[in-house]
Amino acid sequence: MSQYRQIFRDGLWDNNVAMGQMLALCPLLAVTTSATNGLGMGIASLAVLLLTNTIISAVRGVISPQVRIPVLIVLIATVVTLVDMAINAWLHDLYKVLGLFIALIVTNCAIFGRAESFASKQPVPLAAADALAMGLGFTWVLVAVGGMREILGSGTLFANASLLLGSHFAWLETTIIPHYKGILLAILPPGAFMALGFLIAIKRLIDRRLPSDSSHGLVSIQPHG
């Protein structure tokens, strides 16, 4: 099962969507003004990625390579639209919180990237595992960037989390610095670039310290960039 280990290692750290592949920066930079927003976007992206990767892997034998791109695009757009409608109809309270983010998932090139570079060439279980790993990896980076910006910008962490996760999670909402005026820059777009830049710098520092492990079995089918 080292294949799965490799997939999760890639998704969560080595080849992380945002920090390794540098994909999905548009939704990442746009919504991470708070840790809660980051978590909402992360969960929604994870759900869509899991669905698209599984479906595309299941029909990969039918799709011919020459026309794969329009077919993948139309499939992904359909899944996003259906998820949007389903949440609006049946989980309306959640939609009031996540609604804004779901439409933004279409701008997430990581979904298309995984479909094109992984799901369209791998069997269903591997494609689903890859979606889970990439989705979780994206989610933690979103929460980390959102958390950094929220603490610096508003002095709170996970504010309004109960709107997203229900009242059981009200304990997550903490005020880190009381009576804090906030650093405006952290909430504005430049703050997102800086927070992500620091995260990437930290990741590279850690990677340099770690003993280099060059036995990446799946690296050939996971292009960077």
Partner 1 sequence: MISFDLKPYRDQPLYQALLLGAACAVVSLLLIGGHQSTHQSISDHQTADKLAMLAQVLPASRYNNDPLAETATLSSDVLAAPATLMLARQDGHFSAAALQLAIAGWGGVIHMILAVKPDGELLGVRIISHTETPGLADKIERGKSDWITTFDGKSLLNTSGNAWRVKKDGGEFDQFTGATITPRAVVKGVHQGLILYQQWLSTDSGEKALATQMEDAA
| Residue 60 contacts partner 1 per CB under 8 A | yes
Find the angle CA(72)-CA(77)-CA(79) to the nearest 5 degrees.
Answer: 95
65, 178, 211, 225: which one binds partner 1 (CB under 8 A): 65
Minimum CB distance to partner 1, residue 11 (Å): 26
CA 170 to chain centre: 23
3-class DSSP assignment, residue 157: strand
How many residues at the interface with partner 1, by CB under 8 A? 34
| Residue 66 contacts partner 1 per CB under 8 A | yes
Q: How many CA atoms lie within 13 A of 225 on its CB side?
A: 0
Window 104 to 163, contacts with partner 1 (CB under 8 A)? 150, 160, 163
C-alpha 112/C-alpha 102 separation (Å) is: 15
15, 16, 37, 139: which one binds partner 1 (CB under 8 A): 37
Window 79 to 108, contacts with partner 1 (CB under 8 A)? 81-82, 85-86, 88-90, 92, 100
Enter the tokens of residue 89.
Answer: 């109809």
Minimum CB distance to partner 1, residue 107 (Å): 14
Window 182 to 211, contacts with partner 1 (CB under 8 A)? 182, 184, 187-188
| Residue 26 contacts partner 1 per CB under 8 A | no
Q: How many CA atoms lie within 13 A of 84 on its CB side?
A: 14
Taking the least distance from each CB to partner 1, the nearer of 1 and 62 is 62
Taking the least distance from each CB to partner 1, the nearer of 12 and 63 is 63
Minimum CB distance to partner 1, residue 51 (Å): 12
Cβ atoms of residues 46 and 103 within 8 Å: no
C-alpha 107/C-alpha 127 separation (Å) is: 21
1, 61, 210, 220: which one binds partner 1 (CB under 8 A): 61
3-class DSSP assignment, residue 174: strand
C-alpha 70/C-alpha 214 separation (Å) is: 35
User: 123, 107, 117: which is closest to 41 by C-alpha?
Assistant: 107
Question: At which residue do the structure tokens 């609604």 appear?
Answer: 99
8, 9, 13, 63: which one binds partner 1 (CB under 8 A): 63
Positions in the binding site for partner 1 (CB under 8 A) = 31, 33-34, 37, 60-67, 70-71, 74-75, 77-78, 81-82, 85-86, 88-90, 92, 100, 150, 160, 163, 182, 184, 187-188
